[in-house]
Amino acid sequence: MTVARNPLLPGCYPDPTICRVGPDYYLVTSTFEYAPGLPVFHSVDLVSWEQIGHVVDRPGQLDFAGIGSSGGLYAPTLRHHDGVFWLICTLVTRQDDARDGNFVMTATDPAGPWSDPVWLDADGIDPSIFFDDDGRVWVHGTRLAREPAWHDQTEVWVRELDRRTMTLVGPEHVVWNGALKDVVWAEAPHLYKVEGTYYLLAAEGGTEFHHAVSVARADSVTGPYTGNKGNPILTHRHLGRESDVVGTGHADLVQAVDGSWWAVLLGMRPYGGYHYNLGRETFLVPVTWEDGWPVFAPGVGRVPTEVDVPFAGPVHLGLAQGGASGVVPPGDLRWTSLRRPAAEFASASGDGWDLTMRPTTLADPETPAFLGVRQQHMDLDVRATVRADLADGEDVGLAVRQSEDDHVRVFVTGTAGTASTDDTAGTDGTAGTDDEARRVVAVLRRAGVETTLGELTLTGAADAPVTLTVSARGQDYALLAGVAGDEPRPVAVADARTLDSGATGGFLGLWIGVYATSNGRPTATIAQVQRFEYVPAT
């Protein structure tokens, strides 16, 4: 018997949605302001997953300009019908501008290419789509209640989609506003038809500590729906904030080839206090049916650390499952940029990248020269070997990013007057090498206010690369630097409890990546990232 370890996808892979096509399973998660958007994963056994592409992967599909952190792409739903994959999702600007809305994209190959979006005349968030066996198609989603009985009461609506015109037609039906009285954010609705009965699965309680999964059923797709008397059918809120997994919810169901049922859902793993730096992750639980209702994690009633999957083969963890260690090459699908494709400022060079430095900084809701990967392990070492001929005020460095307002940077900065041409020894011990004293700085940006954590001066050959390191052990992130080949020296230690979304707000886990900026000045500098390593410590 094969055992799947939870989380199935560690790191910030929230709002999972899943479907099966024959023997193959496909899964997509939210990505917010990161590009490319909406990663697509493939598995043949629900245990081993490989990323095969992205839904949003080219300029012109969607406009993310100026969208701040934790805005962007929310809560996709993936379905397959008549040879076509359907992806329905929400773009949220968090600014209530004209770009906000729900859209549909299609593809015949889940690896892409995907179509441009078709926008729907439907407000709210978390849209889903259901193909009934009579040929009709139903879109459903969540919005704030039109006539709320309490603060943050939401309602789930259902309306038919005309596939020929890709427009919503016929009357709208409000079918749900949560299983419990005074519940907030009844969201992430999904419809299924099982043995002639319609089931509505929904999250509620907000995607934080009180998150939960509830279910209702009806004889008609438009209701009325009757809730399960045991709702919520899955939650961890009764386990307290010291539970190993909290915030479980936003589930999607899939029936396996052997007829068994399963659910993917999100949750968070706190550590070092009630902090979840890795963000909302994807988990797997078994599902059975009793008395016409789904039972999540039967006999246990919570998300287990390990799940027996009887039909699965040997475990082969994909890169996104946290099994990789070492150099992250340019072709690795874990790389992401902000709001625009990385090709606009980065080009592959050996094991690393050439970054065209930009005036934009990490504090700007734009597209800085930043390339990062999700933090997927509590203990890890990330090393970037960089070099650049920096002008005064230019930086190249390594960043731990939550948002524009909250991040940590350790960087080499250009400082006028540091170069020398004396006959001091270089790093190789030879005389007559041009030396340079380079300043390394560590900065914490917290709620938009920057504090210098530490500084270090490195000496050596002017063209010698510098290796910058983030060494995370729990919530302590040691920031180190050294001339490449030398023992790294400490610059500062950052307390990462200030960076997770529990402390800062928003919906993201942490990213760690390289960046280059001229801090608002025009520049033609190219920064070289010769090597980027992600090494789990456990």
Return the active site residues. Answer: 15, 187
Question: Distance between CA 355 and CA 348 in Å, rounded?
Answer: 9
Spell out the residues 6+ positions from residue 94 whose beta carbon is closer than 8 angstroms to its own.
67, 68, 70, 71
Pick the closest to residue 439 from 413, 461, 459, 410 (CA basis).
Answer: 413
Helix (H/G/I), strand (E/B), else coil: 150:
coil
Question: Distance between CA 251 and CA 18 in Å, rounded?
Answer: 9
Structure tokens at 251: 């589930």
How far apart, in Å, are the Cα atoms of 303 and each of 50, 279, 512?
22, 17, 28
Look up residue 123 and give its amino acid: D
Write the burial class of residue 60 (CB in 10 Å: 0-12 exposed, 13-18 middle, 19+ buried). exposed
Question: Distance between CA 236 and CA 224 in Å, rounded?
Answer: 28
Residues in the chain, overall count = 538
Cβ-contact 475, 498 below 8 angstroms: no
Spell out the residues 6+ positions from residue 232 whose beta carbon is closer than 8 angstroms to its own.
179, 180, 204, 205, 212, 213, 214
Cβ-contact 114, 55 below 8 angstroms: yes
Question: Distance between CA 472 and CA 400 in Å, rounded?
Answer: 10
Q: HSE on the CB side for 308, CA within 13 Å?
A: 3
> Residue 214: which H helix or E strand, with range?
strand 212-218
Cβ-contact 337, 355 below 8 angstroms: no
Looking up tokens 């056994």, which residue turns up?
45
Report the Cα–Cα distance between both ends of the chain, in Å, rounded: 25
Q: HSE on the CB side for 243, CA within 13 Å?
A: 19
Maximum CA pair distance of the chain? 87
